[in-house]
Amino acid sequence: MIFGTLPSGETVEQVDLSSGRLRAGVLTYGAIVRSLEVSGRDVVLGLDTLEDYQTRSRYFGAVVGRYGNRIAGGAFTLDGVEYHVPVNNGTASLHGGVEGFDKKVWAVEERTGQSVTLRLTSPDGDQGYPGTLTARVTYTLEDDALRIDYAMETDAPTVVNLTNHSYFNLKGEGEGDVRDHVVTLDAEHYLPVDEHKIPTGELAPVKGTPFDFTEPHAVGERYDGQYDHCFVLNEGGATVTAGGLTMEVTTTEPGVQFYSGSMLDGGATPYGPFGGLCLETQHFPDSPNQPSFPSTVLRPGERRTSTTTYRFTS
């Protein structure tokens, strides 16, 4: 169905998917997961209109890139050349810059009743990033799960870190906040950050800290619930439980950014603080400036892929 039209004249479509008890609405604008219903309960935060996504969005449900999360100082060096990307979050470049992938119209490449593949071509120099990058994201509903498959190719060396920025509230969209959601993370280390939320480079043990989610804890139980940190994943991924529903997150990515939604603004968006939480599976923040982190460099002739699955049980 047609969801809206941008001032440029580009049409934005909503692609509806269904499988078993799951229903999803995916927008071509930003590759946004606008809705995800589990037995009729919408468990992601969404907005009503295309204008809302342009003016009120906090990346709700979007694929963010070319580099999800932060790059310190909006600069990095690749193969001896320094590149500058827009600073849009304090002193950092966040989620690809001012006009990231969340603000682009993706093309529908393939679709079925259960799956859709969206494609975006980001030209050389887009937001300062080198190389023409072709990104594909496939959303598939299967076996009580939403699976997200990413594929990326480039014609020149670049850095790339794609992730989905859905906010989850397992009690239902708009049904109170998520500080009572119980979270488990199979992560023995996390990335401490400085005052600008840039990783210090240390992989710190979670044991004995409020960042230890190796055993279940409610979001609001410690640290005033103010989480916006990257965790170094083992094999087990993450689990969230609330409202009689459990979401299990598995991924091929090395980390997950756990953001508790504490900075959601009930004036600028329909949702107040802690209205939803994010589990953004990804490579580490600021990896282009951190040689000890897993590399996010993509080179011509390579095809990088990754998969993240959100599985629901009750």
Phi first, then psi, for residue 74 (nearest 5°) are: 60, 35
Residue 289, classified by CB atoms within 10 Å of its CB into exposed (0-12), middle (13-18) or buried (19+), is middle
Q: Which of 165, 181, 217, 229 is the catalytic position?
A: 165
Query: Per DSSP, what are the bridge partners of residue 251?
Result: 308
Our answer to whether residue 188 is catalytic in this structure is no
119 vs 209: CA distance, rounded Å: 41
What is the Cα–Cα distance from 204 to 254, expressed in whole angstroms?
Answer: 15
Say whether 13 is catalytic: no
Active-site residue (options: 95, 189, 280, 283) = 280
* Burial of 223: CB neighbours in 10 Å, binned 0-12, 13-18, 19+: middle
Q: For the purposes of burial, counting CB atoms within 10 Å of the CB of 215, is it exposed (0-12), middle (13-18) or buried (19 or more)?
A: exposed
Which residues are known to be catalytic?
Answer: 165, 280
